Structure 1
């Protein structure tokens, strides 16, 4: 992909109560989340490239994230929240998108604190492995769930958190084949991209044996990457989807990477000391370099479940996973040699890789030292 790139970030966060327990869909109400969002400012000029949605929940840069239960008439009947999502406007650099996210996350943390809640970046629910639709889906909801692979597996997202990192290259055009190829490249190399973000070493109240329960459970059922095409463009029949039609004009040409675990943006979101910040912008640089690279040949229309599970279980302790991560990082560094604005982010990723340093590893170290599990009250 050539030409100037544009960037946006969507950042999902879980919420903790003062006692350290997770404020999840079983106890958290939409009103409680709405009270936080209501205190946050409107940014009407920043909404040109952002979708609001039929229910009107996504009317700000912060909104309640969760599951919409619909009535027989298709109208919103109930909203079960799993946390709060932040989304930035579209920016002309990865650094600017990262800075906008940091500012929004800091403001959210300040307001949430007044409501007795703290945002935290974890990839998988530390206690629950499923979200049960109660009551069971009605006819309208069943029809919606049958409309796409993503709608069918939507309940799974209620026990996971992760960012959507969005890139577009306006000068490269909107050819569906080019966009699908970009998404297929990210999908192929996803098992080697995701370890930088791993933040879900706990499940069902204990270590599950790996580093990313989110990756292990959902990648393959849900997309690693999506490309957004002009309405009316032909769609590839894949399960999960690789391409979909844009819902608003600002989405046309967008390439969205969806497979990372949630990563901290500000220090207060850290699930364990030392996880560090700056990862979202660095990962945007990595994706940019991988899409600019012309040497790596791999393409997949659907994620490789076995490769993702190996990566989720072993991370960089596995020589093949480590080699794959080194290869994508080296390709990105070479492709971005003439774009020095990306150098700092890529250096951060190289340092993390060489030290095999992930949020999940730090969370496990904290647990083994008696520090407990983020989201589980002591």
Structure 2
């Protein structure tokens, strides 16, 4: 069975049953001089206290979000970091790496974008009042290594929890109605994501700094140290069939504009809904491709071609399901020019050899 069996009217009716959510992580800096902060400088109590002061008026219910210990109040804001466990492996404390916004479950793409704007502006205002700011940068610009006591029963989970103490990224969440979810073969979707996912990653590369300077690898400046760390172990997507058929897409670096957030959602929808995309790849090929993307961005082999294929097909596919593809123009422009957020950051840094200039620019969320 294929989606093509449905009429356009049926597809648009199905799309009314889609649900959306966004998780976005941010680096915390000092407000006055933009000094990047980390777990040595921040505490769970400090950040959680700021979160609890933020009004949730006009925001959808947080029902459905997880209450993450040691938090005791269910909120769309959480302290992201390394969980220190008790003897039963339950979190008793968090060493902060940054902050995260989790939108409640939303019933449409416009709603999740609007809710994120509201939550972002309120979080930024509250952080500013307390002498801090938040920055959309996908890897900590000063820190690259972390070691902590074992906090997971599985050794590989523990190793990964230490790796991500320096990374910041978005998770794109989309839930499909059961009748559509049942039609998707997860192994085939994963193979399709293995092929096109690295190209989407290449469109968003946004962490070209390591230990206070541009990340240099094999004689060139790399584009995403976050993707370099994630490429060999992190899954590009997680399936949550027991959570209303939720798909959690993880291939992008952190955006700093509402248009790019919308483009990320639309790109994922196009990837799932377009049954005419023929590219498939193995996990091993994806790992190789992501390593190249981390270094070269859109200049990595085949990435422009794969991105072009998906983006050129997307408007017609999305239109049948009731979505405008206009926000994807930001990705089309990047393919045409070859310029990514990482390229812009590197260029800005080189003007004054100033990481502060980059942090200031990435602290501005464009609406």
| Fold shared per TM-score above 0.5 | yes
Name the CA distance, whole Å, in 2 between partners of 1:298 and 1:27: 46
Equivalent position to 1:84, from 99, 123, 147 = 99
1:148-167 equivalence runs, <5 A = 149-167=156-174
2:65 is paired with a residue whose SS is coil
Which of 254, 258, 261 lines up with 2:250 in the alignment?
258
TM-score (norm 1): 0.82
Deviation at 1:9, TM superposition (A): 0.6
Within a 5 Å distance, the mapping from 1:1-378 to structure 2 comes to: 3-4=14-15, 5-17=18-30, 18-42=32-56, 46-56=61-71, 59-133=74-148, 136-137=149-150, 141-143=151-153, 145-146=154-155, 149-175=156-182, 178-208=185-215, 209-230=221-242, 251-265=243-257, 277-300=258-281, 302=283, 304-318=286-300, 320-339=302-321, 341-370=323-352, 372-374=354-356
Give the whole-Å Cα distance in 2 for the aligned partners of 1:299 and 1:57: 44
Gaps of 5+ in 1: 231-250, 266-276
Cα RMSD (Å) = 2.6
Give the Cα–Cα distance (whole angstroms) in 2 for the partners of residues 374 and 99 of structure 1: 29
Please, what TM-score do these two structures have when normalized by structure 2? 0.84
Query: Cα distance, 1:78 vs. partner?
Result: 2.2
Question: Cα deviation per residue 1:260-306 (whole Å; 9 max; x = unaligned)?
Answer: 111114xxxxxxxxxxx421111101110111101123345636221
Summarize the Cα distance change of 1:100–1:317 in structure 2 as closer, same or farther, 3 Å threshold. Answer: same
Relative to structure 1, the CA distance from residue 345 to residue 376 in structure 2 (aligned partners, 3 Å threshold; closer, same or farther) is: closer
Question: 1:318 deviation in Å?
Answer: 3.8
User: Relative to structure 1, is the Cα distance of residues 166 and 184 closer, same or farther in structure 2, using a 3 angstrom cutoff?
Assistant: farther
Higher deviation after alignment, 217-226 or 368-377: 368-377
Quote how far apart the aligned CAs of 1:50 are.
1.6
Is the contact made by 2:169 and 2:252 (CA closer than 8 Å) also made in structure 1?
A: yes
* Residues matched between the structures, number: 339
